[in-house]
Amino acid sequence: MADHTLDAKGLNCPLPILKARKALKDVPAEGILEILATDPGSVADFEAFCRQTGHELVEHSEEGGTYRFLIKKAAA
Amino acid sequence: MRFAARMNFLRSFLEREEPKMSAEEKSMSIIVTKGSLDWAYPPFILATTAAAMGLPVTMFFTFYGLPLLLKDLNLQLTAAGNPAMKMPMMGAHMGLPNLLTAIPGVDAACTKMMKNLMSKKGVASIEDLRELAVEAEVRLIACQMTMDLFEYTLDDMIEGPELGGAATYIEVATQSDINLFI
């Protein structure tokens, strides 16, 4: 389903965003990156990151303190 | 003949390189003036995040911010004059009265405590953030005047910084949408 998964659990701001940016480089255009994080601030941050960069936050959910984000990379 | 010359002029005009920044692309500059462990975080966090969000970023290192470019960082913090510095300890938040902060070893202990806390909470080290900034092609400018003042050379610094002065920064600032002084 996801083309890549980034495990950013235990990392604090701004590392989940910085690692996501790096991981997106290996994702093909319109491919999906799955990110797992435990930083509660990452919810607002990934929303802002996607608005600014043009990638699409397809969905995000939370389960047992772990946040899961699916980001669809912008078309090239 | 005149027509041909005119066409050439027009062609060269049309083929001129587009300005580097598009209308939507925002950019950011930060003046970095402080070099203690706690004050080193805001500029590096904002610079790396802005770069990750696609903004061209410039950091201008001056006065006590300049040593943040040294090859070997051994950042310290001090509790003196910082009543807001309260660390979580045994379920409470504890600060230090100013008088105690003057005792030798107290700053070192506070620094150690802060660094432990940071690694426990998954906060990046300044060394890591700085490396990420270099990787993200953040433009680093070392203030020439401060280099002279504190007797540093580029050999003391990591690879990447260029030298510049106030005019260099002002030029950057006039082209940036966000200009911060930290």
The answer to whether the CB atoms of A52 and B53 lie below 8 A apart is yes
What is each CA distance from A23 to A12, A18, B56, in whole angstroms?
Answer: 17, 9, 19
Structure tokens of B103?
Answer: 């005792």
Taking the CA of residue A76 and the nearest CA in chain B, the distance in Å comes to 14
All domains in chain B, ordered by first residue: 26-181 (3.40.1260.10)
DSSP label of A8: E
Cβ atoms of B122 and B33 closer than 8 Å: no
* Chain A, chain B: beta-carbon pairs less than 8 Å apart: 33
Q: What is the rounded end-to-end Cα distance, in angstroms, of chain B?
A: 59
Chain B residues in contact with A53 (beta carbon < 8 A): 53-54
3-state helix, strand, coil in chain A (%, to 5): 30, 35, 35
Look up the pTM and report it.
0.84
Q: Nearest 5°: phi and psi at A5?
A: -120, 135
Sign of the torsion angle spanned by Cα atoms B143, B34, B54, B177: negative
Structure tokens of A58?
Answer: 């397809």
Instruction: Provide the pLDDT for residue B86.
Output: 87
Taking the CA of residue B99 and the nearest CA in chain A, the distance in Å comes to 33
The structural domains of chain A, with segments of one domain joined by +, span: 4-72
Q: Nearest 5°: phi and psi at B3?
A: -65, -45
Q: Give the strand order in the sheet containing B162-164.
A: B162-164, B139-143, B57-61, B28-32, B178-181
| Residues A22-74 pLDDT 10s | 999 999 999 999 999 999 999 999 999 999 999 999 999 999 999 999 999 99
Contact status of B123 with chain A (Cβ, < 8 Å): yes
Instruction: Provide the pLDDT for residue B50.
Output: 97
B133/B155 Cα distance (integer angstroms): 19
Active site residue A50: no
Q: What is the ipTM of this complex?
A: 0.86
Instruction: Say yes or no: domain A4-72 is CATH 2.60.40.3880.
Output: no
Instruction: Provide the pLDDT for residue B95.
Output: 86
B181/A9 Cα distance (integer angstroms): 32
The answer to whether the CB atoms of A12 and B122 lie below 8 A apart is yes
Supply angle C-alpha A44, A50, A52, rounded to 5.
Answer: 100
Q: What is the mean pLDDT of each run of 10 residues along chain B (182 residues)?
A: 63 52 77 96 98 96 97 91 86 87 90 93 95 95 95 94 94 96 98
Count of other CB atoms within 10 angstroms of residue B44: 26
The residue of chain B with its CA nearest to that of A49 is B53
Question: With 0-12 CB in 10 A as exposed, 13-18 as middle and 19+ as buried, what is B56?
Answer: buried
